[in-house]
A and B are shown apart, each in its own frame.
Chain A
Amino acid sequence: MRILAVVPAYNEEECLKDTISHLVATCPSVDYVVINDGSADSTWDIVEREGFNGVCLPVNTGLTSAFRTGMKYALAHDYDAVIQFDADGQHDPAYIIPMAEEMERADADIVIGSRLVDGKTRIAGARGLGSRLISRLIALTTGTTITDPTSGMRMYNHAMIEMFADGFDVAPEPDTVALVARKGGTVVEVPVEMHERQGGESYLKLSSIIRYMSRTCLSILLFQWFR
């Protein structure tokens, strides 16, 4: 099974080097591609200086577009699976192989690295509240239980790579997970631990959280039936 880690990076100069070095050291069998999403800082300089495998978008186009660039790359190079991997060091590469094994075992379309599947941990604060709301909505509309829908560590199989590469309005977000589950795809979860961000600024700034939640919730609730 050939696995590609797609690493979208927008202004990630602080942690990109450590993240990629750690990824390569932990999983030598997994290929990776850094997608520099028009960063204003020295992210792309780091990619070139360190000789990382990377693609550079000349303007900032957003997480969805950056990730879809990676999916087009994966399709062109005929990978079997893609892991969505954060540049900020939150995700632990040690879980990539267990997730791939679970994908093969369960013949899954999407494998989510879940912080909560053990039933003990809870995400604190507003973030946890939003996560539980999305989880409830997905259960309501699809009948599938996803304990950690907002986890950004997801593995997609070849069919999903094609869907992301060619689709319209497919975001690497919980609403796509819900859409796949409702269309009869298999979505499973694997327990993972995540680290705190090692630096830099998240895609999800406080100002955009309301927009994120309204888009995600409306998309799951209403638009699932119209797609």
Chain B
Amino acid sequence: MPIQQRLLLVIGAIFVFIFVTRNIKRSKILMTDAIFWVVLSAVLVIVAAFPEAVIWISGLLGFLSPSNFVFLAVVALLLVKEFSSSAQISVLSHKLEELAQQIALRDAADEERRRNEQQ
């Protein structure tokens, strides 16, 4: 991997790390969700520092250049992350609906009780 690309990876990873920690400080992201990004930035630094492993694997899999392999790996990883985020949003939507329905039904029951008491 060219030295410029390695530098870019390291700078990018450091940027991600600073960005994530700033958001933790500002209470914008939960620790549980931040772990993925911190680990990812650490992996990027390792890849940039020790490209031999990546070069070896990309040669093994028949890639023309290790950069292509890194791009593909990152795209694949982000697709997986995107799917798990979608799944998480689905669960959250369901819980939100559940909560809205519970509150609405409870209000209706309260209203009914009040009307019965008035009569």
When distances are taken between beta carbons in the complex, the residues of chain A under 8 Å from B35 are: 214-215, 218
**CB-based nearest A residue for B106:** A58
Which residues of B from 68 to 108 have beta carbons under 8 Å from A? 95, 98-99, 102
The complex places the Cα of A84 from the Cα of B35 at a distance, in Å, of: 26
User: Which of A46-54, A106-114, A199-207, A219-227 is found at the contact surface with chain B?
Assistant: A219-227
The complex places the Cα of A220 from the Cα of B99 at a distance, in Å, of: 33
Q: Contacting B31 at CB < 8 Å: which of A58, A61, A223?
A: A223
Contact B38 A218 (CB under 8 A): yes
In this assembly, does B21 line the interface, its C-beta being within 8 Å of a C-beta of chain A? yes
Which residues of B from 1 to 36 have beta carbons under 8 Å from A? 21, 24-25, 27, 30-32, 34-35
Contact B99 A59 (CB under 8 A): yes
How many residues of chain B get a CB closer than 8 Å to chain A's CBs?
A: 14
30 interchain pairs (CB within 8 A)?
Answer: A58-B98, A58-B99, A58-B102, A59-B95, A59-B98, A59-B99, A61-B95, A168-B27, A169-B27, A169-B30, A169-B31, A175-B31, A211-B32, A214-B35, A215-B32, A215-B35, A218-B35, A218-B38, A219-B31, A222-B21, A222-B38, A223-B21, A223-B24, A223-B31, A223-B34, A226-B21, A226-B24, A226-B25, A227-B24, A227-B25
Besides A168-B27, A226-B21, 6 more A-B contacts (Cβ < 8 Å) are: A61-B95, A215-B31, A219-B31, A223-B24, A226-B25, A227-B24
**Top 5 A-B pairs, shortest CB-CB distance:** A168-B27, A58-B102, A226-B21, A59-B95, A219-B31
Interface residues of A (CB under 8 A from B): 58-59, 61, 168-169, 175, 211, 214-215, 218-219, 222-223, 226-227
